[in-house]
Amino acid sequence: MTPDRTTIPIRFSPGAQSQPIKRHHSASYYAHRVKESLSTRISKFICAIFLLVLFFVGVIAFILWLSLRPHRPRFHIQDFVVQGLDQPTGFENARVAFNVTILNPNQHMGVYFDSMDGFIYYKDQPVGSSPLLSPFYQQPTNTTVVTGTLTGASLTVNSNHWTEFSNDRAQGTVAFRLDIVSSIRFKLSRWISKRHKMHANCDILVGLDGLILPKVNHKRCPVYFT
């Protein structure tokens, strides 16, 4: 006797979706992906090495630039005296004397100075000039003393100037400006720079006795190039 078989119908929901079919990539596909990833890593490593080398080269270049770049000479006014300033007609025997030191602050670089001249101004009016030094070479970290004396033909002081000096002296101080002019070149080993026209401006205050005031003595003079 054959048993009864009950047939159960299978119903599909209208909104049901079929499961996606999983696809397996071939071995060549994965080999290509691995090769591509390895190339990217190598490229990034090479770029990192290049940037690191570039950074260290930049740091070394900056240090060399700091140590080898030329520093302009330093001028300091040491003494300045106007003799006869306390005399009513002192301009007839007027005499100006001064001392200035020049320091080469460079540790590895010398300085060539062309001939050096000094000019004295009072209220932007020239009152005297004189040659100071012949051309010379200054060794690194060396100090040179410049001595100047202006009298007679080197001074253009007249009675009007002396009257103005006397009026300022009555107020307590007389202001002068010393301008030292030269052309300089820097020397490092066998390398020599082009010429630079240099000016050192020293602002000076003179008291009743004609001597420079202590507050401006030994003062550093600004240096600029033209």
Torsion angles phi and psi, residue 92, rounded to 5: -70, -30
Same domain, 87 and 104: yes
Share of the chain above pLDDT 90, in %: 50
SS (H, E, C) the chain: CCCCCCCCCCCCCCCCCCCCCCCCCCHHHHHHHHHHHHHHHHHHHHHHHHHHHHHHHHHHHHHHHHHHCCCCCEEEEEEEEEECCCCCCHHHHCEEEEEEEEECCCCCCEEEECCEEEEEEECCEEEEEEEEECCEEECCCCEEEEEEEEEHHHECCCHHHHHHHHHHHHHCCEEEEEEEEEEEEEEECCEECCCEEEEEEEEEEECCCCEECCCCCCCEECEEEC
Per-residue pLDDT of 84-112, as tens digits, reads 887 777 777 789 999 999 999 999 899 99
Give the pLDDT score at 182.
97
Same domain, 40 and 99: no
Mean of per-residue pLDDT scores for the chain: 84
- Is the confidence at residue 45, as pLDDT, over 70? yes
Same domain, 128 and 49: no
Q: Please tell me which residue, 132 or 26, carries the higher pLDDT value.
A: 132
Same domain, 117 and 132: yes
Give the pLDDT score at 189.
85
Question: In terms of residue numbers, what domain contains 46?
Answer: 25-69
Give the pLDDT score at 203.
96
- Final residue of a structural domain among 13, 36, 69: 69
What is the pLDDT confidence band of residue 39, given thresholds at 50, 70 and 90? confident
Q: What is the total count of domains within the chain?
A: 2
Residue 218 forms part of a structural domain:
yes
Give the pLDDT score at 43.
79
Measure the CA–CA gap between 197 and 222, rounded to whole angstroms: 14
Structure tokens of 34? Answer: 């691995």
Instruction: Find residue 33's DSSP bridge partners.
Output: none
Same domain, 49 and 82: no
Give the pLDDT score at 25.
58
Whether 185 and 112 have beta carbons less than 8 Å apart is answered as yes
Highest-confidence range of 4-18, 26-40, 79-93, by mean pLDDT? 79-93
- Is the confidence at residue 75, as pLDDT, over 70? yes
Nearest to 185 by CA among 195, 177, 175: 195
Give the pLDDT score at 34.
59
Measure the CA–CA gap between 196 and 184, rounded to whole angstroms: 5
What is the pLDDT confidence band of residue 198, given thresholds at 50, 70 and 90? very high
- Is the confidence at residue 65, as pLDDT, over 70? no
